[in-house]
């Protein structure tokens, strides 16, 4: 079944909206990329306008910013500690934006969108 990003076909009262158009290619949606902790895997996806989007399927390294020294370090991700997006993602080791990850140098918060950007950027927690 196609994921569609148009408005719903029914009102809050249960009544139907008058259908003005059929499904269009530009309103197409896709399944979310549930980026896991593991060996690095990237998939390229063609998006509207012919551009490409990199989807990180799984990754084990993160670019972590240390705000005290103002330096970035590329460190290994050990596990997912907390995920505000979905509490069930923690035991499945799924990373999204805002996820708290455990790294070699301490806990860090993910600031990038791995499923959309293809990379994991994070800030070291104080």
Q: What is the pLDDT of residues 10-46, one digit of tens each?
A: 899 999 988 888 888 888 889 999 999 999 999 999 9
- DSSP H helical segments within the chain, as ranges? 114-117
Let me know if residue 11 belongs to a domain: no
Res 126: pLDDT = 77
Angle at 65 between CA 40 and CA 67, to 5 degrees: 165
Let me know if residue 86 belongs to a domain: yes
Let me know if residue 64 belongs to a domain: yes
Q: Which residues contact 60 (CB under 8 A, 6 or more apart)?
A: 37, 38, 39, 40, 76, 77
- CATH number of 74's domain: 3.10.290.70
Let me know if residue 27 belongs to a domain: no
User: 56 lies in which domain range?
Assistant: 35-124
Res 24: pLDDT = 86
Let me know if residue 75 belongs to a domain: yes
Q: What is the pLDDT of residues 39-73, one digit of tens each?
A: 999 999 999 899 999 999 999 999 999 999 999 99
Res 94: pLDDT = 97
Question: What does the pLDDT average to over 95-112?
Answer: 97
Nearest to 98 by CA among 87, 74, 82: 82
| Count of structural domains within the chain | 1
């Amino acid at each position: 079944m196609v994921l569609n990003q148009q408005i719903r076909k029914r009102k809050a009262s249960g009544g139907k909206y008058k259908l003005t158009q059929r499904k269009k290619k530009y309103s197409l949606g896709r399944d979310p990329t549930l980026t896991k902790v593991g060996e690095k895997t990237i998939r390229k996806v063609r998006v509207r306008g012919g551009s490409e989007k990199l989807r990180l399927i799984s990754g084990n390294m993160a670019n972590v910013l240390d705000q005290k020294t103002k330096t970035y370090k590329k460190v290994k991700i050990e596990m997912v500690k907390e995920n505000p997006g979905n509490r069930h993602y923690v035991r499945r080791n799924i990373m999204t934006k805002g996820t708290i990850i455990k790294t070699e140098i301490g806990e860090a918060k993910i600031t990038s969108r791995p499923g959309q950007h293809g990379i994991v950027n994070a800030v070291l927690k104080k």
